[in-house]
Structure 1
């Protein structure tokens, strides 16, 4: 009984309390009530393709809309061949599941600004773009019907899959990317291709990630708490990574 009480206390303190605080702060701010009222235009974060001719890969994440925006974000991938144009890839829950260029590469998402998760340029990007495109094409939930908002597979499941398949991108999605811990095909565990990160998951509802990129993470009902080693910080549900 004492162990159960302690476990419940830890869950309340580590996962529930920060989430409630984050939700309270979120609803206290003025935000769009409908998707049609939100800003979906370019944030101006990226230069035009003409101004930056070198090859590039970007991974972006932005908080989503409604109350779920207090704890959940949406991620997408952008590639650009040398002297080419930007190509944006999102996994969405309507129409063709993996959308290409349905919004500007650096667009706001539900009026929320994009955050840069990963960036690779030049010769390294030229080498990795074919691998990124192969990972996108090989995503096992890329067909119509291959989307479930919670616990996955969703938009973050898609981007997390690409990051695991191309570990040279050197990043993991932020803790608020709910659905990133759902492993493709509902697998119980996954070892990244370079062997540097291990992920264990019970259908995206609970799990553990450990490694050089992930640090130490515990996932509970889509909420993530842990320690970031690569960029020293503490991962707090509802607040993301708080840098040390």
Structure 2
């Protein structure tokens, strides 16, 4: 009984904190609001120059707050990649207003602002490892089962798409944040399976109720699409609206980056 009281108290405390966070953040959103037609969509300067890095295979995954007030509670992710020898990136994502096939290729610039919101990089893999993963990513994109279905909540949506790629390509070690609403969406006929990173297990009923235990995710509980958990690998709290509160968890191989940046660029 005492344990239940403590859990209830902690849950209420978290909700109060999140309510305060939303209230303060909403003021910032309102003061900086722009029409979606004029919001920034140009490069954020976060991806490498594909021409200078022509001889390197590269995979990166980004996510940015969604447009408007929804950006306080959810993110929009996308993946970019290029093979060795290619001088431009290919970008894939799910865009909810562009059906009937919601999977879009090269909808925007590789590392662009998402309607005024700066993206965050979650995965950066280069070299031979990236080259080996790209065919698996392309196969996962083709096999996405909800390309003609979109629901902002609880899914399937853009985060469901990225979680599908993560499950199919565990080498990405993808860890979507707790506020990637839709990442836990699973059909009624498939409630148990791999976690979105492909490196754990998950039980989820339509992304509304369930739990996840994984190498990248740590432990996470999903209640009505709101995720609460603890990341052990990179110590942090996993919270709705915020994503994570703790150490950075971007999957970037610093050794690969150093090796790639130190390579002389051969003339094309």
Global fold match (TM > 0.5): yes
2:18 maps to 19
1:170 aligns with 2:149: no
Give the stretch that moved more between structures: 20-29 or 188-197: 188-197
TM-score, structure 1 normalization: 0.90
Deviation at 1:34, TM superposition (A): 2.5
Provide the alpha-carbon RMSD of the alignment: 2.3
SS of aligned partner of 1:235: strand
Deviation at 1:232, TM superposition (A): 1.4
1:43-90 CA distance string (max 9 Å, x none): 111122101121011111111122111111101111111121200001
Contact 1:32 1:111 in 2 (8 A): no
Q: Distance in 2 between matches of 1:178 and 1:186?
A: 20
2:50 maps to 49
TM-score, structure 2 normalization: 0.83
SS of aligned partner of 1:37: coil
Q: How do 1:121-200 and structure 2 match up within 5 A?
A: 121-143=126-148, 146-183=149-186, 187-191=190-194, 196-200=199-203
Q: Distance in 2 between matches of 1:109 and 1:185?
A: 32
Deviation at 1:174, TM superposition (A): 1.0
Structure 2 unmatched runs, 5+: 248-268
Return the match for 2:66 from 64, 67, 91. Answer: 64
1:126-185 CA distance string (max 9 Å, x none): 000000110010000012xx1111100000000011011111101221111111110256
Q: Distance in 2 between matches of 1:18 and 1:164?
A: 32
Structure 1 residues 18 and 71: alpha-carbon distance in aligned structure 2, compared to 1, 3 A threshold: farther
Contact 2:163 2:197 in 1 (8 A): no
Q: How do 1:84-123 and structure 2 match up within 5 A?
A: 84=86, 85-95=88-98, 96-123=101-128
SS of aligned partner of 1:190: strand
Q: Distance in 2 between matches of 1:234 and 1:141?
A: 30
Structure 1 unmatched runs, 5+: none
Q: How do 1:200-211 and structure 2 match up within 5 A?
A: 200-211=203-214
Q: Distance in 2 between matches of 1:108 and 1:179?
A: 21
Structure 1 residues 206 and 9: alpha-carbon distance in aligned structure 2, compared to 1, 3 A threshold: farther
Deviation at 1:234, TM superposition (A): 1.2
Structure 1 residues 77 and 225: alpha-carbon distance in aligned structure 2, compared to 1, 3 A threshold: same
Question: What is the number of equivalent residue pairs in this alignment?
Answer: 241
The structure number with the bigger radius of gyration is 2
Q: Distance in 1 between matches of 2:197 and 2:154?
A: 26
Structure 1 residues 78 and 219: alpha-carbon distance in aligned structure 2, compared to 1, 3 A threshold: same
1:40 maps to 41
1:4-27 CA distance string (max 9 Å, x none): 87776554333x324312211221
Q: Distance in 1 between matches of 2:71 and 2:21?
A: 10
Give the stretch that moved more between structures: 190-199 or 114-123: 190-199
Runs of 4+ in 1 over 6 A off after TM superposition: 1-7
Q: Distance in 2 between matches of 1:183 and 1:58?
A: 25
